[in-house]
């Protein structure tokens, strides 16, 4: 499956290599929902392959897609304590 360029994988899951929490937008996610640091992305990002989950969470907005992704896995966005 080809990437849908929806940005959900850059927001919904945690990316510990970047210190990114669940539900937090990756600092490298650009406004056009592509990676602004693609050549230097961590291994977890390089290894990601789109699958049926991408179709299952299809929605009009990034916020809706993230909400559906988190619900699918029974997760909630982490809030910073700062």
- What is the pTM (predicted TM-score) of this model? 0.89
How many whole angstroms separate alpha carbon 1 and alpha carbon 16? 25
Over 90: is that where the pLDDT of 80 sits? Answer: no
User: What percentage of the chain exceeds 70 in pLDDT?
Assistant: 96
Over 80: is that where the pLDDT of 58 sits? Answer: yes
Q: What are the phi and psi torsion angles at 15 (to 5°)? A: -130, 90
3-state helix, strand, coil in the chain (%, to 5): 35, 5, 60
How many whole angstroms separate alpha carbon 64 and alpha carbon 44? 23
Q: pLDDT band for position 66 (50/70/90)? A: very high
């Amino acid at each position: 499956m080809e990437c849908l360029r929806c940005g959900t994988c850059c927001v919904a899951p945690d990316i510990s290599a970047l210190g990114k929490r669940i539900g937090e937008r990756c600092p490298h996610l650009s406004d056009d929902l592509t990676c602004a640091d693609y050549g230097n992305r961590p291994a977890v990002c390089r290894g990601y392959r789109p699958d049926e989950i991408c179709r299952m969470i299809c929605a009009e907005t990034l916020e809706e897609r993230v909400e559906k992704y988190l619900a699918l896995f029974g997760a909630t966005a982490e809030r910073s304590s700062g």
